[in-house]
Every structure is written in structure tokens, then in C-alpha cells.
Structure 1
Amino acid sequence: MLLRVSAIVLCALLFAGLCAARAAAATILVIQSYHAEYAWDAEWLQTLRLRLTPEHTLLTFELDTKRLPREEFAARAGLAMDAYRRHAPDVVVLADDNACRLLGPQLVSAGARIVYMGVNGNPRDYGLHGPENVAGVIERPLVKRTLSYLSRLEGLTLRRALMLFDSGTTSQLIFRTVLRGAAEQNVMGIELQTRIVGSWQQWLEHVLSARGQGADILIIGLYQTLRDADGRVVPDDKVLRWTAEHSPVPCFAVWEFSVGPGLAIGGLLHSAEEQAHRAAGLVESMLAGEPLPVQPVLAEQGMLKFSRSGLARWGLVLPATFIDQVEMVP
């Protein structure tokens, strides 16, 4: 009899636990500024899934603003709001600036609980600073610290660096916030020239003339919105590989997805994985009813990563002080 009662109690406890777990499960709508094939999105989305599923349901919507013309952004944002109303998610994750700019005010007005990530602009400009049900992670590429590390490479005399960006929203924001809108500046004794490039043809010209412009290195910024003479977006992998192959000076980067064999050599890199881990933590806190940070979280640790083949091609050697800090790839 005692065994039977114990079994009944155990079943009841298990059932109660199952019900509680089901009650805790949430629907999370992730609105991407870009698209799933973009390396940045692929990395942070994978990290979010590892952190938040299968306990919670993760739904995604792509605004695709790296590839679509600007005049179509508003229509895509309207479809994203339709998805929000249709799914009635417990939390919305807004990834990168275009999603925040296009949807932040509308979602705040709708009473959505929001976690933003990958934001280079000021969250206030998107209506995302102040509401109690909003928290997020901002992104600041580590340009100055990257130059500091690169200046210590053996075999490289670094006096002047040329950094190239496309003319997309994120590039413009980085130029205004991180670089203070300065096309020419001195960073720890290194002259840094930054160019915002609107077309593939202009990008080719800047790369090929880098040495003639006095640059010792080229830093590859963002390049995913470059368009050819027919107005078509040039595949980002094509831009990256062509640049690394044809540049007359060594190419480095500030984003992890740009580094590898046949790509940029390396740098102190900004990681999508780090952004996603911070954002997932905020989602979990929000669902648990825990206090949220009033100020945006800044994910800026960065990671040192270099390609062996890239270093060898240019006769560069990492100093001994790097060895314990760096991740090496072929």
C-alpha cells in the first residue's frame, strides 16, 4: 500500500514538474536586420539556438536589408509587424540597427518585451532606452585596440592604415560613433584613413591603390552592401576573397567572419557569438522576471585570431607575448 501511495505521489510530482516546465516555455521572435546566409547572422543565430532551445521556441524573420533596396525596407518592416501580431511572442529579439530603427518604436508602443543586440547606434534613437521591458547589447568594433596589436607584429612597420567600409547603415553608424566621423585621424602614432565606399568599382580602385596612398596595411570593415554597375549586390565572399588576393598590402579585419585562409590575416576581432551570449542571458532574465540592466550592455572583449597561411604569405610573425592569447586558423 505504501509503495502504491509513493508511486502515485511520484507521478503527481513528475506531472506537476512537466506542467511547470511547459508553463515556463516561451515563444521568442527573432527579427534579423539581414539574412540567414550572412556569416554574422549565421553565427549569432546558432548561438541563440544553442542557448534558448529546445526549452523555448525560436521563430525568425529576415528583413534582408543588406540585399534589398532601401525603398523596400518599410514594406519588410510591415511584414515583420504582421509576424509579431500573428505569433504573439513572449519576447522579441531585434538584431542589429536596421531592425531596431524600423521596428523599435512600433514594438515598444505595442507593449512588446524586447531584447536588442548588435546595435552600433544609440538605442535612444530607436526608442529603446527607458522602457522597463527593454534591454540590450551594443556593438563597438575594436578598431583602435586592433591597431595597437597589429603594430606589434614582427615584420611589419605600421605607420599608416587604410580602412574600407561599404555605405550601408551599420558602416555609417560606426563611422559616426566609433570613428567620430573622422576620415583621417592619428591613433597611437598610426595615421588611420577611413573611406566609405558606395560601389564595387570604387572598392576595387581603393584596394589596388592602397600602397600608392601610402598605406602599410588595409583593414577590411564591412562590404556586404556593395553593388556592381548593374545595381546588383556583389556576393560578400567574392569581395572578401578578391580583396585579400589583390591587395598590394596585408589585409586585416575587425570582424571574425572576415578572417581565415585566403581571407583577411587576422586582428582583435568582434564576435557575433559574444553578442548572442549576452543577448540570450538578457532573454533568460526577462523570462524569469529578474531585474534588467538599465544601461545597454557593452560586449567588447574581442578575440585575437590569425591565419597561419596569411601571416606566412606576408612574412609576418606573431610576437611571443601573443602566443597564449591568440586563436590560430589555417
Structure 2
Amino acid sequence: MTLVRRYSSELLLVVLIVLAALWSSTLSPYFLNAVNLLSSAQFFVIFALMAFGLFPIVVQGEIDISLASTLAVGSVLFATLSVEGVPLAAALPVVLAVTAALGAVNGLLVAYAGLPSLAVTLGTLGAYRGLAYLLAGDAGVTGITPEYLLLGSSWIGIVPSSVVLALVVAALFAVLMGTTSFGRYSYAIGSSPGASRMAAVPVRRTRVIAYALAGAMAGLAGLVWVSQYQSARGDNADGSILFVLTAVVLGGVSIKGGSGRALGVLLATVLLGTIQTGMKLANVPGTSQTLVIGALLILAIGLPQAVHLVRRRFPTALPRRAVTSGNA
């Protein structure tokens, strides 16, 4: 198998990113300016972090639509700790631990209670959002101390620190899913939960870890949110799960589980960010932008199924690709 065939999905995403960037550049001569690109990229770091958190869950054949609500709880808690004068070094682990615990609750209900992940996370979507509103109050939380803003407002050379963070997280997830037992278990569970149990794979524990990890990533995204927007409200990131799930599926992670790579998730996030920036430059209404993202999600889910049906009906019409699961 050549590298081109192995990474054909990622190469296609790169081509689409270039085309989307060229389209956006026709709308504004400043779009392709390096500083503008990097400045724009930092606003999509939040979605990228949540997408990486969702990645192992979808690989396992499950879903979590409560991540945006978990982000809201984490951002409000982080902002509140800032206002109360808690040192940043103490606030960071507290927020990540709390949001990881919220994620673990989802995992326990799915893995040990046997409840459907969609139903569980739909319930916690509302519960966690309500908790965020309760913590934030009607006015939200403002007056964030300067040290809490470093993650979202500082630069490392010519690159925003939040962008560096997203790239580091992408590399860590590539290693996690590609070289560790957690990654191998996740792909195995997504391919066949029953066979995984027979092979003594710790299915329940692996699922709980995946949900806890997703919660921690939502908390990390909440930290970046506060650093960028310098405030926190109960409605932070409301509705963003559509963008996040689209990035994961468009990145080549099968909604049925068992396959996908971290690189694809990263590239899909960049593609969606480029498209959304272009639509803003074209003065496309926000409702229409949501329509486009939703259509891309349907396309990303439906296209592989359509290809599969064509292959079954016309076996020689399309070449078959080797399975890429397990290679993050």
C-alpha cells in the first residue's frame, strides 16, 4: 500500500482546504495574509479540542452530544476561580478534573448501565447546560485576571499559543490512538464490541476512559474560551456540537466506529474553519452557515454508505481501499 492510497482521505481534505482558501481569497485580498490566517485559526481551536475529545468515542461506535455543555461548565468554573483569586496553577487541574468527571458520568451510564449514548448525552446536554447557567448567573462572569488570559491571547513567536496547543493535542491523540492499548481497544470495540469482549478487551473501562477524556478536552476548550473572550456565560458554545461532530466524521472517522485518524480530524477542522470564514466574508447569514455545516455532516455520513452500496451492486465499478482502522 502506497502512502498516497493510505492517506487518500487526508490528501483529499488538503485539496479541499486549498480550494476553500482560494475561494475565500477572492472575497478578501487579506485572507491569505499569514497573520490573518493564524489569527483566524485560533478561533477554531476550541472546536478542534472538542473534536479530538469526541474522536475516540466515535471510533468506539458511540456519541457524546453534551460536550458543548461540558465546555460551558468548565469555562464558567474557570472564570469564577479567576475572579475569586485562585492561582492559575491550581485552577487548571480543578477545571480539568471536574469536566473529566462530568464526562465519566456519561461513560458510566453508557458502559455499566447499558443506556444508549445518544439518550444519555442528550440528557446530560440539558443537565450540564443548566449547571453552567446556575454557576454563571444571569450576568455571566467577567473581570478575568490577566494570567488567565495567556492561553488564548499570547503568541509563541508568530503563532498564537492556542494554535500551538491544538497542534500538540493533535500529535498526542495520534500517538494515543495509533500506538497505545487504549487506541487498539477503541478500534476493536468500534469494529465489534462482542468480539472484543470475547478477546478479553476491557470494553466498559475503555469506554469510561474515552468519555472522561472527552470531558477533559471540553474543559480544556473552556479554558481557551475564557482566555479568548475574557468572560464566561451559561450559553458558551451552545450549538457548537454540529461543527464538532461534522469535523470528526468529515475527517474520516466512521460514524459506525472502528476507523479514523487524528490527522483527518485536524484537517477537517481546518477545512470547516476555512469554509466558515469564507462564508462570513461573503456575508452569508449565520442560519445559512449552519445549513451548510449540517449538509456537510449528512454528506460525510452518507457518501461512504453510497460507495458501499455501489460496490455491492457493481463489484468492479470502484477500487477497494484497504482498511485503515487502528492507524491514527
User: TM-score if structure 1 supplies the norm length?
Assistant: 0.29
Structure whose alpha-carbon radius of gyration is higher: 1
Question: Normalized per residue, which structure has more helix?
Answer: 2
